[in-house]
Amino acid sequence: MSNLPLQTIAYEAHDHNLDDHKLQTTELITELTTELQAVHQELQQALADLYAPLADLARNQLQRIQPLTRAALVLAVGIGDPDHALLRQQRLSLAAAQEMLFVALSIHKMLLTSQPTHQDEHQKTIMGGIILTGDYCFTRSAILAAQTDHVPVVEIFSEALKTISEGLLRNFFADRAALGGESQPEPVAFYDEQSDLFVSGVQAAAVLAALPEEATADLVDLAYLLANQLTPYDLAPLTAKVQSIRQVTPLQKARLAAFLTWIATYANHS
């Protein structure tokens, strides 16, 4: 039996637990970044099927939306306890689908600007290239979502795509009306797709991980907090929300804490 004082033994045990916690946190961050790298590779492979200059347009948009915060949130939420290979592949596909959808939206938003009434052939070629590239990315995002082989997830993704497309069209027609001097019977609120992107990703990932309703509701609140911030993110409210999420296991909560560390390390210093 040890002759060390009991107080010293207690401190040693406490220090050991701290070391274990740091080790687990480091491992979880490493796993998250590894999965994000896999998502990025999936996106690059999908864009490799495009020919130049369409591929260049898509790759530029992919670079512009870095870091892949929407994907990171999906990967953080969509972990099981216990986790398994099928679920990992499903959340990777969902995360890639969310980011490919964002790439497609970013490209198509180039069209939602005022264009000259008469376009020359060069302008028409550019516009045609934007349309083809955006449509390709929309199609690939739907294919990636379907690769989850999970009907409710595909339904959530499809509904988000519909909602976002309608919102961006409302912005377009409202801008056109304002440019034309038309009076609006009621002011049209500007639509920002970020909330629907983050929320739909969280909802679909929560379905994959079979999280209870209370946890999903809290995670949706976290998604809204993220969507309504600009980088650098204010970590204080995000941390408070993660700590208050109900009915998740210690592993799942630790994965969410690793996501916040990833934000502090990568998203806030990009």
- What is the span of the domain harbouring residue 62? 6-112+120-269
Percentage of residues of the chain with pLDDT beyond 90: 66
Query: For residue 226, what are its two tokens?
Result: 């993220």
Q: What is the pLDDT of residue 191?
A: 76
The tens digit of pLDDT for each residue in 52-73 reads: 889 999 999 999 999 999 999 9
Q: Is residue 219 part of a domain?
A: yes
- Give the residue ranges of the chain where pLDDT is below 50: 1-19, 114
As given in the structure block, the two tokens for residue 178 are 């304002």
CATH (domain of 178): 1.10.600.10
Q: Is residue 225 part of a domain?
A: yes
Per-residue pLDDT at 6:
28
Number of Cα atoms under 13 Å in the Cβ half of residue 115: 14
Within a domain: residue 186? yes
The verdict on residue 1 lying in a domain is no
Please check whether residue 98 lies inside any domain of the structure: yes
Token code pair at residue 18: 């701290």
CB 39 within 8 A of CB 95: yes
The phi, psi pair for 230, rounded to 5°, reads -105, 155
pTM given for the model = 0.85
pLDDT tens-digit profile of 164-218? 988 888 877 776 665 555 555 555 567 789 999 999 999 999 999 999 999 999 9
Number of domains forming the structure of the chain: 1
**At residue 236, what are phi and psi to the nearest 5 degrees?**
-60, -55
> Of 177, 146, 176, nearest to 161 (Cα)?
146
Establish if 263 belongs to a structural domain: yes
Is 65 inside a domain boundary? Answer: yes
Give the tokens for residue 68.
């892949």
Q: Rounded to the nearest 5°, which phi and psi values hold at 219?
A: -70, -35
Say what the pLDDT of residue 12 is: 31
